[in-house]
Structure 1
Amino acid sequence: MTKKWKLWIGGKWREPKDYETLTNPHTEEELAEIGQAEPADAVEAIVEAHRSFQKFRDYPAHARAKILAKVAAILEERSDECAKIIAKEGAKSIRNAREEMSRTVQTYRFSAEEAKRNYGERIPMDAAEGGENRFGYTKRTPLGVVTAITPFNFPFNLVAHKVGPAIAAGNSIVLKPAEQTPLSSLFLAEVFKEAGLPAGVLNIIPGKGDVLSEALTKHPYVKKVTFTGSVEVGYTVQQQAGFRKLTLELGSNSPFIIDEGVDIDQVIERSVQGAFSFNGQVCISIQRIYVHQSLYEAFLERFVTRTNQLVIGSPFDEKTNITAVISKKSLERLQTWLDEAIQEGANVECGGGVQGNVMEPTVLTNVNRDSKVFRNEIFGPMVCVFPFDTLEEAIDDANDSRYGLNSGVMTPSLERAFYAAERLETGGVIVNDIPTYRIDNMPYGGWKDSGVGREGVKYAMREMMEQKFISIKTGD
């Protein structure tokens, strides 16, 4: 019998009015019945979170750190079980799912450590005339209720990047997981309970984003909204949230520049990983590769050869590289964009076909700069390759985008590396590696339409707190 998952509100499972069937994207088998929250449920969760925050805000840092460390330990012990959940509901290969769980454990450990590092600073009051005999300092205080709306592609780790810092800072949180991957989040309810988190500090309400967004962004108890998803939904969240603190992670179409003098043999494998890991459904997946003219033909030949060797198969097969994309709707969009690109002059060097719900890994050349596969975020197993003559030309083309999350540049020249790093218009520049590189304690966020605010545990934690200045007069 298919398991029914209820809503997690106030430390208890709550019966919803309706359920929806969750299916495996790769096999289309039924996985579970997921309770669907309504606005009234979201309001109840927010009220519970607000009530719990009144006590949790005074929890000492060491107590919050112990809870998060215990969560990390439980997830590490049950990581194989968690990886299977990811593979089932998201069709992520089991190898990639294990990698995600390793990072998730690390993210909660970073959160535990950062809970103890909430420092302010002393202000030299007497540096200004009239500041004598005064002591000034700053401190960071928790905000209150944080609402988090998370995506499907890293259902454990991107949730950890919101839940971990929120709890480390002393906030309470209401989590709305992605509609496609709610099981990973619902699994956390009992994990946090076992770890000793007080009831009501973490609330989990699966449901439709368009149904719940107003309650999650406009309720007066909500002090911070953190969202990862599309630009279009991000704009809506921003308008609804008003003057509340806001973090938006909105994706990219990451460029990767391979400069003259680079050893091609050293970049092929990483380039393929960056383009096609989890079927390209990664915010910082490589979408545009720029290769110096002197290396272009050799790179393209080897890149296509290696791409053709990727294995399409079941998420649970250890050899699998490529699986089904997250939904039929996504597959249809990818097919439409590919057809349009071909009509506009693009050449398909490999791939382009569809097997069930799987799109073959696809390499395009001669792509029109106005094509959707150049201008928009593909979020699928498709990459465009371009030659260039000068580094300046490649950087200008890379910057010709509404997005600016991560970029990458490979070059043997330190001078050219610094030149590119200074001029690429992205929140992160990864030198001598792919733009898909991310570790969980680094600052992460974009310029332009890639969003506002920063994640990475310490940086996310700061965005989930208010800074207060305190001045004490010590004498006449």
Structure 2
Amino acid sequence: MNLRDFYPLYLNNKPEQPNTDLAVTDKFTGEVAFRTAQATPEIIDQAIAGAVRAAEPMARLASYEKRDVLDHCAARFRDRFDELAYALCVEAGKPIGDSEGEVTRLIDTFRIAAEESTRNYGEVQPLDISPRAKGYLGIWKRVPIGPCSFISPFNFPLNLAAHKIAPAIAMGCPFVMKPASLTPLGALIIGEVLAETELPEGAFSILPAHREGADLFTTDERFKLLSFTGSAEVGWALKAKAGKKKVTLELGGNAAVIVDQDADLDHALERIVFGAFYQSGQSCIGVQRILIHEAIYDRFKEMLVAKTKTLVAGNPHDRKTFIGPMISEKEAQRLKGWIDEAVAAGATLLCGGKLDGAMMEATLLENVPAGCDANKEEAFGPLANLARFSDWKQALAQVNASRYGLQAGIFTADIHKVLEAWDTLEVGGVVVNDISSYRVDNMPYGGVKDSGLGREGIRFAMEDMSEIRNLIIRRKV
């Protein structure tokens, strides 16, 4: 399968090719795979103006009209399944099996949004809570917040774009999206499919752009919401510049899993190795810290090292490949530096640690000092750290000893420990007998502390993309 040489941007629902300035590389070969148009500040301004004009007609769309648009997208993504997976494999370096899995989730996300588009419920609220309100009735509904600014990341360029686009359509909000400049093609293909529909002019624009020229996505007051997915440092800086608009942030993590002494170790092994090294560890909820009860520590460590050494690295187009390249040599070199720093500070290298271009070996470290970047920051690469614990409360405290709080996994058969973890862990989600990186696309997903604000998952994103409008009626009594 071949990609086209050039791809347009989408400005106010229409393909435009003002230039071919953005070169996108095949992340495995390092060669330019295709070029896309790159938006200038003037083009971004036109897109925002179009979204403002589209706000009223988008808000007037009937539920079935929004549902039909979303159903059309899901059907067309099924038609173009192989193309989407191949494009993702090229532009992100994601192994082909994982790429196909992301296309499946893309379809799921639009399918869920189609269902939720007809469920925008409100509430009748009695107001007669005191004599002065006798005869008064309250009714509230959710209305679209208006034009939205979306900035999506490189690691899930299809599905994380979908988690912004699909709820916006379901809610009736026009949007302007900036996909990651390293991986813009997935979002542009979504735009190509949206252009087949009869959405009001200006309902969407998808504009590849470098960060340096894209300040309007953050600062322009015509936007009523900014939704950003990416690093904590960038996300919080954008929030500080966003002005009066609502801001939702899905940021990073250094997720932990706890393996208690009663865990099913064979199951935990399969899931933890997957969670740590799936798509080269480039997931904000990827397993980074593995806390193992001392009674099983030595045995489980041996199992983890042996399994990790079997992982196949190489060309992401080869179906045997589990670990492909990281997104860039720069990022791979950064992670290699963190590994070397940890070892120099006293950590033990159990396996991996070698670097070849953007290919980083699956790496396990033991006893990483708390102050090392490999422990305290988001690795965002194929690295996980092992540590032992003796007491459940101690393990929970170790999970919480992080500035991040996205998701955590626990492996235990003790329901009391499960409930204690749910009450104690400072995270957006606790996953029982599975890994921190488990996600279903309709669940409320997001984090606390430096991991962000707000929640994704279609219904929950629709709430962020809406405002409550109240109606108070005085009845004759």
Give TM-score scaled by structure 2 length.
0.97
Deviation at 1:243, TM superposition (A): 2.4
Aligned to 1:388: 389
CA contact (8 A) 2:106 2:162 kept: yes
Q: How does 1:58-97 map to 2 (within 5 A)?
A: 58-97=60-99
Q: Deviations over 1:216-258 (max 9, x none)?
A: 1222210000000011111121011122111101110001000
Aligned to 2:288: 287
Q: Distance in 1 between matches of 2:440 and 2:56?
A: 33
| Residues 64 and 168, structure 1, Cα contact 8 Å, conserved in 2 | yes
Tell whether the 8 Å contact from 1:421 to 1:431 is kept in structure 2 after alignment: no
Name 1:407's counterpart in structure 2. 408
1:40 alignment partner AA: E
SS in 2 for 1:36: coil
Please give the secondary structure, in 2, of the residue aligned with 1:67.
helix
Count of residue pairs the alignment pairs up: 475
In structure 1, distance between residues paired with 2:147 and 2:418: 42
Q: Which amino acid aligns with 1:454?
A: R
CA deviation map 1:238-297 (0-9, x unaligned) = 011122111101110001000111121221110100100000000100000000001111
The unaligned stretches of length 5 or more in structure 2 are none
The DSSP-based 3-state class of the residue aligned with 1:56 is: helix
Deviations 1:71-124 (Å, cap 9, x if unpaired)? 011101211110001000000000001111111101001111111111111111
What is the 5 A alignment of 1:235-254? Answer: 235-254=236-255
- Is residue 2:273 matched to residue 1:277? no
Q: Match for residue 128 of structure 1?
A: 130
AA in 2 matched with 1:417: V
| 1:184-223 matched pairs, under 5 angstroms | 184-212=186-214, 214-223=215-224
2:37 to 16, 35, 38: 35
- Which segments of structure 1 move beyond 4 Å, counting only runs of 4 or more? none
Q: Deviations over 1:133-160 (max 9, x none)?
A: 2221111000111010000111110001
- Letter of the aligned partner of 2:147 in structure 1? V
Matched, 1:175 2:174: no
Matches for 1:360-399 after TM superposition, within 5 Å: 360-399=361-400
Percent sequence identity is 40
Retained in 2: the 8 A contact 1:159–1:185?
A: yes
Counterpart in the other structure of 1:262? 263
Q: What is the match of residue 98 of structure 1?
A: 100
Aligned mates of 1:118, 1:268 — CA distance in 2: 42
**Root mean square deviation, CA, Å:** 1.3
Unaligned runs of 5+ residues in structure 1 are none
Q: Tell me how far 1:356 sits from its aligned partner.
A: 3.1
Measured after TM superposition, the shift of residue 396 of structure 1 is: 0.8
CA contact (8 A) 2:41 2:216 kept: yes
- TM-score for the superposition, normalised by structure 1: 0.98
Q: Which residue of 2 aligns with 1:51?
A: 53
Residue matched to 1:10: 12
Q: CA deviation at 1:2?
A: 6.6
Mean alpha-carbon deviation: is it higher for 173-182 or for 194-203? 194-203
Give 1:34 deviation, angstroms. 2.0
Cα shift at 1:420 = 1.5
SS in 1 for 2:380: coil
Shift of 1:473: 1.3
CA deviation after TM superposition for structure 1 residue 17, in Å: 5.2
